[in-house]
Chain A
Amino acid sequence: MSDQDRLAAWLEREDAADEESAEAAFANAYALIERIDARPEFILRTATLGRKVRLRRRRLSRLAWAAAAVAVAGAMTFVAGMAVPVSVWVVKVIALAISNAAPWLVAYSTGAISLWWFVVRVGGPLATAVDSPAAASALVGVELVGILAFYALYRIIQFENEGEVPV
């Protein structure tokens, strides 16, 4: 099939509006267009340049990492330098607070100990007095009488409110 025939075949199919066969015929006609082969020196030159670009990039990347490490180290040193005076100030404030709080702490502790001592002193004999069956029974009896008295008082108040005092 001559070049002219290939072209004519495609143009015919294109006019027939048959998409698939027109595409195939076009591919066949397009293959006529001459392809350019890259020259070996172009390949060599480009590969060499490309490699240089990569090496430069790698070197730059390493430099950037080194610069970043130096920057981080510098920043850390700066922060540490700032942190020393700050930490001294914090220690001073804490020491002052502790020294001011110590008398109060001692005073309150003393008060608490005194109260505890009083409770022990009073509670001890009371517990000893109650610590027998007879004393305990008497105490429970007194409690019961008291509770009953309170209940009676409550009922009387309730009836008074309703206006019906029992005879």
Chain B
Amino acid sequence: MSVEPSDADLALKVLAGSESASRALVGRYASPAVNFAFRMVGDRGLAEDLAQEAFLRVFQRLDSYDPQRRFASWFFQVLRNVAIDYLRAHRLDTTSLDELSEAGFQPAAEYSASCSPEGMAVRGEVKNAMAAALARIRPEYREVVVLRYQEGLTHPEIAEVLGVPVGTVKTNLHRARKALSALLKPFAAASRKVEESD
């Protein structure tokens, strides 16, 4: 039975110049990275670019990685900075998504205006409604939700990634859930109506 090498072991092997360790480390974090970036920017191609940029930054600064620290926290910190830099540079702030839509900005297909709660309810697309609602909440709420429920990070780890107190993480998670429930209630009501009419 072979034991999976830890992230720290892989990082040390990458530092020593191992090609297989590079592939293993990227393979381990590629999907979480693309998922996180996708939830932040809403475009797969762009998410891959941002994830790749994060990996390159991590590889570049691997000398400064402390093996005592969890690699995932460090990696997501870098990735989050890359995503935030991109959002700032392109002013893709979901708090003003309506304004952007009015100005002609077209979000990714998954979140387009055609995906109204009623429309999705008719199609019974709960997962799409959830994703669309997630895309509409504030980025600081979205990132904690993704890190907690998608990547499985603990509250202290999220606090480390975001550089905020644990209390702030818990508050943002609570507010994020409230915001999501407010956005999804019309969808749930419409779903019920569709079910009743059937």
Residues of A within 8 A of B (CB): 3-4, 6-8, 10-11, 14-15, 19, 22-23, 26-27, 29-39, 42-51, 53-55, 57-58
Chain B residues within an 8 Å CB radius of A4? 124, 126, 188, 191, 195
Chain A residues within an 8 Å CB radius of B52? 42, 45-46, 49
Asked whether any CB of chain A lies closer than 8 Å to the CB of B34, the reply is yes
Report yes or no: A53 in contact with B130, Cβ–Cβ below 8 A: no
Residue of A nearest to B30 (CB): A38
Q: Please tell me which stretch of B15-23, B68-76, B77-85, B157-165 contacts chain A, meaning at least 4 of its Cβ atoms lie within 8 angstroms of it.
A: B15-23
Chain A residues within an 8 Å CB radius of B192? 8
Asked whether any CB of chain A lies closer than 8 Å to the CB of B175, the reply is no
Give min CB distance, A47 to chain B, whole Å: 4
In chain B between 35 and 91, which residues have their CB closer than 8 angstroms to a CB of chain A? 35, 38, 44, 47-48, 51-52, 55-56, 58-60, 62-63
Assuming A3-B126, A4-B126, A11-B185, is B178 touching A44 (CB within 8 A)?
Answer: no
Residues of B within 8 A of A (CB): 14-15, 17, 19, 22-23, 25-27, 30-31, 33-35, 38, 44, 47-48, 51-52, 55-56, 58-60, 62-63, 124, 126-127, 129-131, 134, 145, 149-150, 173-174, 177-178, 180-181, 184-185, 187-188, 191-192, 195
Residue in A10, A22, A30, A36 whose beta carbon sits within 8 Å of that of B34 in the complex: A36
Chain B residues within an 8 Å CB radius of A30? 130, 145, 149-150
Assuming A32-B127, A34-B127, A54-B62, is B27 touching A10 (CB within 8 A)?
Answer: no
Residue in A27, A35, A43 whose beta carbon sits within 8 Å of that of B30 in the complex: A43
Residue in B51, B130, B174 whose beta carbon sits within 8 Å of that of A33 in the complex: B130
Chain A residues within an 8 Å CB radius of B149? 26-27, 30-31
Residue of B nearest to A37 (CB): B31
Question: Nearest 7 pairs between A and B by C-beta?
Answer: A38-B30, A3-B126, A50-B59, A47-B23, A47-B26, A30-B149, A32-B127
Give min CB distance, B165 to chain A, whole Å: 19
Report yes or no: B22 in contact with A50, Cβ–Cβ below 8 A: yes
Residue in B23, B35, B177, B191 whose beta carbon sits within 8 Å of that of A43 in the complex: B23
Report yes or no: B130 in contact with A46, Cβ–Cβ below 8 A: no
Assuming A3-B124, A27-B149, is B19 touching A43 (CB within 8 A)?
Answer: no
Residue of B nearest to A26 (CB): B177
Chain B residues within an 8 Å CB radius of A11? 181, 184-185, 188
